[in-house]
Amino acid sequence: MSIPFPADCLLCRIVRGELAVERIVETGHAIGFMNEREALSRGHSVFFPKRHAPSLHEADDAALAEILVLVKKVARALGVETYNVLQNNGAIAGQTVFHAHVHLIPKWSESEGLVYERGRGRQMDQKETAERIRAGLGRSR
Ligand SMILES: [Zn+2]
């Protein structure tokens, strides 16, 4: 179970109004603001659930649903059609702020925004893993 509002969490401090950020949108369960400190491109914004949850799988469903809709609306408001939506969970996956959040990173040109290397994946048999996921979801094939 997640802790409602840890005192030292950066994003919880934004919820409480203790940290000034350039807010762009707020709903019942989520907030969106401009990433000003580490922006990868113009319009790089961050969306997060108001209720503290370290990772995506711990976040409220309602907040997650609102966040993707906000990402869509902000992308439209920006007038950007090429962009990345990034969401990291855990330190080795690149998460640095441990309150689940989603980045909208506009890609105005090839050199701007998120740059990642394609083709590093390994070919593997995913059938057994798919079975485990279906079992975990309570579904059979
Ligand atoms: Zn938090």
Between the CA of 6 and the centroid of ligand 1 the distance, in Å, is: 6
Distance 74 CA to ligand 1 centre (A): 22
Per the structure, the count of domains in the chain is 1
Q: What is the pLDDT of residue 19?
A: 93
Identity at 107, one-letter amino acid code: K
What spacing in Å lies between the alpha carbon of 116 and ligand 1's midpoint? 27
Residue 3's pLDDT band (boundaries 50, 70, 90)? low
Summarize pLDDT for 43-93 with one digit per residue, the tens.
999 999 999 999 999 999 999 999 999 999 999 999 999 999 999 999 999
Establish if 94 belongs to a structural domain. Answer: yes
Mean pLDDT of the chain: 92
pLDDT at 106 over 80: yes
Share of the chain above pLDDT 70, in %: 94
What is the mean pLDDT of the segment spanning 95-108?
96
User: Is-above-0.85 flag for pTM?
Assistant: yes
Q: Distance, CA 118 to ligand 1 centroid (Å)?
A: 32
**Active-site residue set:** 101
Give the mean model confidence (pLDDT) for residues 22-29. Answer: 97
The gap between the terminal CA atoms of the chain, to the nearest Å, is 31
In a domain, 139, yes or no: no
**Cβ-proximal residues to 5 (8 Å cutoff; 6+ apart), any chain:** 12, 15, 16, 51, 52
Query: pLDDT tier at 5 (50, 70, 90 boundaries)?
Result: low
Q: Copy the structure tokens of residue 72.
A: 């869509």
Q: How many CB atoms lie within 10 A of CB 108?
A: 14
- The residues near 8 (Cβ < 8 Å, ≥ 6 apart) are none
Range of the domain at 29: 10-116
Higher pLDDT, residue 31 or 140: 31
- The CATH number linked to 70 is 3.30.428.10
* Residue 64 included in any domain: yes
